[in-house]
Amino acid sequence: MGNTGQAAYSASKAGLIGLTKSLAVEYGPRGITVNAVAPGYIDTEMLRDVRDKIDLTAIPLRRLGQQEVADAVSFLVGSDYLTGQVIVLDGGLSSQI
């Protein structure tokens, strides 16, 4: 999602989505799957200094993500038919747009 002052960041994320889909098509015939994980606010050291500024009421699940990224990656590694997909892990934040 776009935010003021984050044009380059948003463009890079859109580029990664396009790259994921293109690589999935290109490498699929070789049996290689390509997917991406798009996390929202995940409770990590990176958020330590700004955690108190995050409005949890804006996230439908009312919390930060924790183990979900590892769980999604584990699922993707185990799937040999899912390809070209972007798994969004943001507690429903982007569903409101």
Return the active site residues.
Answer: 9
Return the structure tokens found at 60: 């439908």
Q: Could you write out the DSSP letters of every residue in the chain?
A: ---TT-HHHHHHHHHHHHHHHHHHHHHGGGT----EEEE-SB-SGGGTTTGGGS-GGGSTT-S-B-THHHHHHHHHHH-SS--S-EEEESTTGGGG-
